[in-house]
Amino acid sequence: MLILVGLGNPGPKYTNNRHNIGFFAADAIARRWRFGVERQKFQSLMSEGVIETPTGPVRALLMKPQTFMNESGRAVGAAVSFLKADPTDVVVFYDELDLAPGRFRMKAGGGAAGHNGIRSITSQIGPHFRRARMGIGHPGDKDRVLGYVLGDFHKSEATWVDDLSKACAEALPMLAAGEDERYQAEVMRLAPAEKLDPRKAAQKGTEGV
């Protein structure tokens, strides 16, 4: 079974935060593939569904941890343990400061690069899970990062956020088939975004707002 995890913080206060773009992707996946009704399990809002691929259907568990970002690993670890899943069956969708807004990159394994949700998951299941990195840009100064990721997307950013989330959902058969490079290319084809310096791009995107 494929375990798809969208990271974010629970509650209306955080709904439109940049840190919650993983939740946006999870919701788009649930809509596109008509996953079942959400229910509480594994300290998450969880639903199940089937993704059709050229080689056959793949069952998937979709999770939005409700533990707050810094403790996301508790939820993911519980699911992996219960299902006896391999960490490579886990794909985590989350905000990436080091990619320009709208850019998308897949990565397998590696460090947390300062992301507390990824650090928490690594502490529970090790580093070898797959990461779907959704670019939000960088505010330019490390002292501004917390306020930036916990700040809401501006109205001017709504289109690319929606396009990227839908592309992550539409291209999902490639991910489910284990073709991460093709998945990355297809997401970027469906939701093209200019490759820019993430610091300059983020500043440009908020100018005059």
The residues that are catalytic are 19
C-beta of residue 79 within 8 angstroms of C-beta of residue 129: no
Torsion angle of the four alpha carbons 2, 76, 186, 170, in this order, in degrees rounded to the nearest 10: 70
What type of residue sits at position 178?
G
Residue with tokens 């490079």: 181
Tokens linked to 109: 């394994």
CA distance 29 to 37: 13
Residue 47 to residues 42, 125, 147, Cα–Cα distance (Å): 11, 21, 31
3-state secondary structure of 134: strand
Strands 130-135 and 90-96: parallel
Tokens linked to 25: 């992707």
What type of residue sits at position 138?
H
